[in-house]
Amino acid sequence: MPDIIRLLPDSIANQIAAGEVVQRPASVVKELIENSIDAEATHIRLIVREAGKTLMHVIDNGKGMSETDARMSLERHATSKIRKAEDLFTLHTMGFRGEALASIAAVSQVELKTRPTDQELGTLLVIEASEVKRQEPVACEKGTSISVKNLFYNIPARRNFLKSNASEYQHILEEFQRLALSHPDIAFQFIESDSLEYDLPPGKLSQRIVNIFGKSYQEQLAACQEETPLVKITGYVGQPQFARKKRGEQFLFVNKRFIRSNYLNHAVMTAFEGLLPDNTFPFYVLFIEIDPKHIDVNVHPTKTEIKFDDERAVYAVVLSSVRQSIGTHNLTPAIDFNSDVNIIAKLSQAANQSKEVYFDERFSSGMQGSNRDHWEKLFEGEERNFYTTSPAPSQPVQTLRFESALNQSQPGDIIEEKILCQLHNRYIVRQVRSGMMLIDQQAAHERILFEKFLNQFKNQSGASQQSLFPQAITFSAADFAMILELQPEIEALGFKIEVFGKNTFIVNGIPGTLSTGREKELFEGLIEQFKMNQSELVIPIRENLARSLAKRAALKGGQKLEREEMQSLVDNLFGCSTPNYAPDGKPAFFIFGLNKIESYFR
């Protein structure tokens, strides 16, 4: 029998390793910037083109490498950090595996220029698919410059799995933000397609947070600090009223290395328990300093997962530090989100305002009436009120009147009407032939708007109305790029937007069925909900946009409705093609049969 086991060539072995280390352009950015940080750079510049698919260029002013070190850095498992196995448990550097550069060079075209401080000439290396094409002396600045071109050019199947430019750019931006947050003492620049997205000077962590996320974060930051013999916690948490619907701006660092830990995130969320509106997430940037011997960072190739030898103790310290920060800065809200105390007037005012927003044309869905005719059968035999009953046809109709000294009604004053009322300003109660229907007004309105927006996409009939006072809205660089890509679909819904400066759009018009005055709230809500759906669902872009706008524009629970509004909502719901459910699958109504109701009285 012939031997069948062979050693893989280095080029193939490197490509296999690249499958673990280099998942997308953001993975390359992370590895290159971490190398610059380990080289003790004080200024790091990142340049990308086409979301990193054609170019990722990192330039630093670090220590640089000699000719031999430059050549060795591109070999597998070549590292300056590890000498013996015990070193794995005393690591203070970002990188240590010695796989990154070799893996990157195996799936791209790499040009490396580097010069240490004590040498006049540097070294130039040009590598393609692990093969060194050129190696020669070159005049260059102190430090290292690495450009990675045409990622996965030699593995078309891997390149085809990359997402859209907007999606890949967002991943790059997330990696850049994490590294910039973890090292506020280092100056960072981020240039995308000749546009300077970030120019971050060295400074304090609070200044770095504001420079990355915007001046609005200046007022919401609360310092967090706790120190024990095991662990030290520093950083900032956001005030509860600034919490967002989307989990994203939550950063945990262990020894300046970004990590993902559901366990420690639970500690933070527990500290905020009872202080946040439903389904919202607080902002936080927390640094955990711990002796490296108590953790294992060699758990995952991307080094975003680590193990603690005493995870419960770390959990307790994180929980305590965040709670102390909330108490010290008096972040506990004066209003209980689960109570109506002190907010009755506000809810009433909001209800009156929202009538202008929602009920101009909100239930005129434009749906075909075929389905509505079918559902009308549910309401047969319903023409009665609280004062009249309809006995069997063979019997004479008997009118029952209940009178009092305060209201002496005459028989001719009684007006027959369908039983239709609102329960706790959340549900609509409707009598049907088989019993009672209970409609969730928010879910019903979401279904109506969702199908309306889908029809607008299908028929290209999205009407827009001009805003009396156009509003400028500034987004993060990633969101701005995403909106640019989605602009045709967003305008097909009825929004009219245009670029208005760096990372800023001005909203000139909104869908015709929505009332003006809420442009900023609606547009920001649309984008935030779109991203949330994108992270949880795999659905077409247009369906996602229709779902997102329906979710954010629909009336909410707690909204008081007039009878005409309730009737319009019911009629339009059963004019939908799928009235049973909201777009997210939540039931829009339930029917309680008479037999079921009677069973409660037996």
Q: What is the pLDDT of residues 303-336, one digit of tens each?
A: 677 888 888 999 999 999 999 888 877 665 433 3
Count of other CB atoms within 10 angstroms of residue 578: 12
Q: CATH: 3.40.50.720, 3.20.20.70, 3.60.40.10, 3.30.230.10. Which one for 207-328?
A: 3.30.230.10
In the chain, domain spans: 10-203, 207-328
| DSSP letter (8 states) at residue 231 | E
> What's the confidence (pLDDT) of residue 167?
85
Parallel, antiparallel or unpaired: strands 187-192 and 43-49: parallel
Beta bridge partners of 572: none
Q: Cα separation of 90 and 87, whole Å?
A: 5
Instruction: Give the confidence band of 111 by pLDDT, cuts at 50, 70, 90.
Output: very high
The residue among 153 and 363 whose pLDDT is bigger is 153
| Model confidence pLDDT, tens digit, residues 175-201 | 999 999 999 999 999 998 888 889 999
> How does residue 8 score in pLDDT terms, banded at 50, 70 and 90?
low
Residue 552 phi, psi dihedral angles, 5° rounding: -85, -25
Rounded-to-integer distance, Cα 246 and Cα 478, Å? 15
More confident residue, 482 or 415: 482
DSSP 8: P
Residue 451 CA to residue 423 CA, distance in Å, equals 26
* pLDDT of 371 above 60: no
- Where residue 99 falls among pLDDT bands split at 50, 70, 90? low
* pLDDT given at position 448: 92
Give me the chain's average pLDDT, please: 79
Cα–Cα distance between 541 and 552 in angstroms, integer? 17
pLDDT band, very low/low/confident/very high, at 379 (cuts 50, 70, 90)? low
Q: Is the pLDDT of residue 248 over 60?
A: yes
Dist. CA 268–CA 283, nearest whole Å: 10
360 exposure class (CB count in 10 Å sphere: 0-12, 13-18, 19+) = middle
Q: What CATH number belongs to 10-203?
A: 3.30.565.10
pLDDT value at position 96? 43
The percent of residues above 90 in pLDDT, for the chain, comes to 29
Is pLDDT above 90 for 220? no
**Cα–Cα distance for residue pair 562/428, rounded to 1 Å:** 11
Model confidence at 349: pLDDT above 60: no
- If one compares 373 and 96, the residue with the highest pLDDT of the two is 373
- Distance separating alpha carbons of residues 270 and 267, to the nearest angstrom: 5
| pLDDT over 50 at 586, yes or no | yes
In this structure, what token pair is assigned to residue 342?
Answer: 């002190």
Average pLDDT over residues 461-476: 81
Strands annotated E in 385-463: 420-423, 427-432, 435-440
Strand partners, 184: none
Res 405: pLDDT: 35
pLDDT at residue 172 in the model: 93
- pTM for this prediction: 0.65
Q: What is the pLDDT of residue 407?
A: 38
For 120-194, list the strands marked E by DSSP: 122-128, 131-138, 143-149, 187-192
Q: What is the pLDDT of residue 560?
A: 87
Residue 472 pLDDT > 80: yes
DSSP string, 101-127: HHHHHHTSEEEEEEE-TT-SSEEEEEE
The CB density around residue 85, as the number of other CB atoms within 10 Å, is 7
- How would residue 73 be classed by pLDDT, with cut points 50, 70 and 90? confident
**3 or 345: which leads in pLDDT:** 3
Q: Is pLDDT above 70 for 345?
A: no
Structure tokens, 236: 């900032």
Local confidence band at 584 (pLDDT 50, 70, 90 cut-offs): confident
Q: Among 246-255, 331-340, 460-469, 515-524, where is mean pLDDT lowest?
A: 331-340
pLDDT over 80 at 256, yes or no:
yes
Q: Helices marked H in 22-81 — which ranges?
A: 25-38, 67-72
